[in-house]
Amino acid sequence: MEYILHLLIFISIYILLSQSLSLTSGYAGLISLAHVGFYGIGAYTAAILSVNYSVPFLVTLPLAMLLSGLIAIIVSTISLRTVDDYFIIITLGIQVVIFSVMNNWQGLTRGPLGIPGIPSIKILGVSFDSKISFLLLSMFFVGIVWFLLNNITRSPFGRILIALSEDEIFTKSLGKDVYKAKIISFTISAMFASIAGVLYAHYISYIDPTSFTIHESIFILSIVIIGGMRNLWKVALAAAFLVLLPEVLRFVGMPNDVAANMRQIIYGVILVLVIFRSSDRIHKGKTAIEKTSKKSTVN
């Protein structure tokens, strides 16, 4: 039972991460590999504040969101000067920089040693140390984020995002501020990712930089791609599927280190297959649009 609860908590953390990435990568069409960076910023903010200064959860959560939002604004203002593939490479770079700060700024983050002993969450005297209560808490956050994302994507702003990912020039010609919309969506998704980070840090009670590597970023991106980019429900299902997959491998009786590699191999294969399928489907009847949108100018 404990084990199932543990898996459910992980699924909700990954649902948070992948749905928030779906806002930038799916709706706005900005493929970001820096998402785990913001997840890590959230986790480290929570860990450092609660371990060193014993700041309560209700304060660390907004602080973590603010911090990662701030960094996201700065980073996206710079990186959104580029487009398409270059943007992906830049976000990869941002991810590497954030990781190397976590790994090397030993005065603050204790580097590869990680931060142990993160206290469990206490809200107004109620402590969330049992698994079932933590699951309820994280599902509460998943619910809020899901609700917000659902509303954002259906709002006029969400339609701007979809429009700009389809045809940037056309959206600009309607008088929409494309650059600003992109920055806003990037920032919102970074802030949501940091919620997942805070939850993760308090749940595991120990964090180190290896949880926030580029491979994790690729993993979350593949959840979003497998989930069909613009569908919150399917993204959530894909998250559950990909989190449960390695557990199945473990039941089959694979040793742990082989299972870790097998998990990555499987999601790599799925990623390639999905690209094969998607290009088949999406491109029918859309080639003309695609051709014009390829010619969009640089900001």
Partner 1 sequence: MQLILNIFVSFSLLLIVSFSFHLLYQVVKFFHIAHAVTITFGAYFTYLFSVQFSWHLGAAILLAIFCAVIISGFMELLIYKPLRRQGTSSWKMLIASLGIYVVLQNIISLFWGDGTKSIRTWAVKTGHNIFGAYITDVQIITITASIMMFVGVILFLRFTSLGQQIRAVSSNEELSNIFGISSGRVILWSFVIGSALGAIAGILIALDTDMTPTMGFHVLLYAVVAMIIGGVGSYKGLIGGVLLLATAQHLSAYYIDSKWMDATAYIILILFLIWKPLGFSGKLLKKVEI
- The H-or-E segment that residue 252 falls in is helix 232-252
Shortest Cβ distance from residue 84 to partner 1 (Å)? Answer: 5
DSSP 210: G
Q: CB under 8 A: which stretch of 114-122, 134-142, 153-161, 279-287 binds partner 1?
A: 279-287
What whole-number distance in Å separates Cα of residue 190 and Cα of residue 195?
9
Q: Please report, as a single letter, which amino acid is at residue 116.
A: P
The binder of partner 1 chosen from 202, 222, 232, 236 (CB under 8 A): 222
Q: Within 8-47, which residues bind partner 1 (CB under 8 A)?
A: 31
Question: Nearest approach, Cβ of 271 to partner 1 (angstroms)?
Answer: 4
Which of 137, 199, 207, 221 is in the footprint of partner 1 by CB under 8 A? 221
Instruction: Specify whether the CB–CB gap between 211 and 221 falls below 8 A.
Output: no
Examine residue 53 and tell whether it contacts partner 1 (CB under 8 A): no
- Of the CA atoms within 13 Å of residue 278, those in its CB half-sphere come to 14
Q: Cα separation of 15 and 205, whole Å?
A: 20
What CA–CA distance (Å, rounded) separates 6 from 1? 9
Question: 61 or 102: whose CB is closer to partner 1?
Answer: 102
Residue 206: strand, helix, or coil: coil
Member of 58, 123, 215, 248 binding partner 1 (CB under 8 A): 215
Cα 4 vs. chain centroid, distance in angstroms? 23
Number of neighbours of residue 37 by Cβ within 10 angstroms: 30
Binding mask of the shown chain, residues 76 to 115, with x at each position contacting partner 1 by CB under 8 A? --xx-xxxxxx-xxx-xxx-xx--xx-xx-----------
DSSP string, 67-127: HHHHHHHHHHHHHTTS-HHHHHHHHHHHHHHHHHHHHH-HHHH-GGG-B--PPPPEETTEE
Residue numbers 144-203 binding partner 1 by CB under 8 A: none
The position carrying tokens 């491979």 is 215
Q: Please, what is the minimum distance in Å from the beta carbon of residue 280 to partner 1? A: 6
| Options 3, 53, 251, 276; binder of partner 1; rule CB under 8 A | 276
CB of 95 to partner 1, least distance (A): 9
| DSSP structural state of residue 285 | T
CA distance 243 to 224: 13
Which residue lies nearer to partner 1 by CB, 104 or 127?
104
Using CB under 8 A as the binding rule, whether residue 218 contacts partner 1 is answered as: yes
126 near partner 1 (CB under 8 A): no
Binds partner 1 (CB under 8 A): choice among 123, 174, 272, 289: 272
**Which residues contact partner 1 (rule: CB under 8 A)?**
31, 78-79, 81-86, 88-90, 92-94, 96-97, 100-101, 103-104, 215, 218, 221-222, 225, 258, 261-262, 264-265, 267-272, 275-276, 278-280, 283, 287, 290, 294-298
